Structure 1
């Protein structure tokens, strides 16, 4: 049923709750897990020059090693959790608008299901902060398994 499972991660506690579910699902079905970290170009570009933004967009983080380290920690958590269950993981770091990159990656890599965490925000907080998970749900026809961090 599932051959490729995508787990977008930002390394947060919410994402890590979803990682557990994605690894369990991958182990059950013998699926390959895709760990995707997206550098939100809109968030990091504030205050940067055009040249720096261009380098980051091309995956060259230069002096911004903290971005690369955060990405490696986030996908590394997926890899270490998956290793405990003998699940194969493909790690990927991309740059762009998170929900678009996630949806495009899923389409391009024949992903069968996307597993994502959700903070469970509602009302004004969600409207002000936005929701990557909600935007992914609206951007793809691929099933999205949403894990509420409050319901570990």
Structure 2
């Protein structure tokens, strides 16, 4: 049914549920797996023109985020490989729009299912932080499996 599954992870405990479910599903379907972690390229400040970090510090911090993101997806790949998933890719993408990066990566890798977790934020938290999962659900043209 599914040939290539994209699993989005942020490295959190909750996203591990999505990772393990995606691996199980990939094994069941004999599908390939693409693990993605999106690193946000947020501005250096909250207000237009403000600077919280100098460029050297911002670059160092960005590199740390990239290294950590690569470690997260490499761990997913190692777990999937050890379980017998036939072809797993570990992808790190930098983007200001996490949901858009997930959808674009799914399209780029010809995935036919996106698996991700929902943090279940409500009220003010959801209003302030938004919901990447909701954005993926709203804009994806392929099926999305959401786990809580």
- Partner residue of 1:135? 135
Q: Which runs of 5+ in 1 are unaligned?
A: none
What CA distance in whole angstroms lies between the structure 1 residues aligned with 2:84 and 2:123? 40
8 Å CA contact 2:70–2:91 kept in 1: the answer is: no
- Partner residue of 2:4? 4
What CA distance in whole angstroms lies between the structure 2 residues aligned with 1:123 and 1:2? 35
- Partner residue of 1:83? 81
What CA distance in whole angstroms lies between the structure 1 residues aligned with 2:79 and 2:44? 31
Q: Secondary structure at the match of 2:114?
A: strand
TM-score scaled by structure 1?
0.81
Task: Indicate the structure (1 or 2) with the bigger Cα radius of gyration.
Answer: 2
TM-score scaled by structure 2?
0.83
- Partner residue of 1:74? 72
Q: Which runs of 5+ in 2 are unaligned?
A: 46-51
State the Cα distance separating 1:62 from its structure 2 match: 5.7
State the Cα distance separating 1:48 from its structure 2 match: 5.0
Q: Deviations over 1:21-58 (max 9, x none)?
A: 0000000011110011111112x644356x77xxx9xx
- Partner residue of 2:29? 29
Q: Deviations over 1:63-87 (max 9, x none)?
A: 6432122112210231132123211
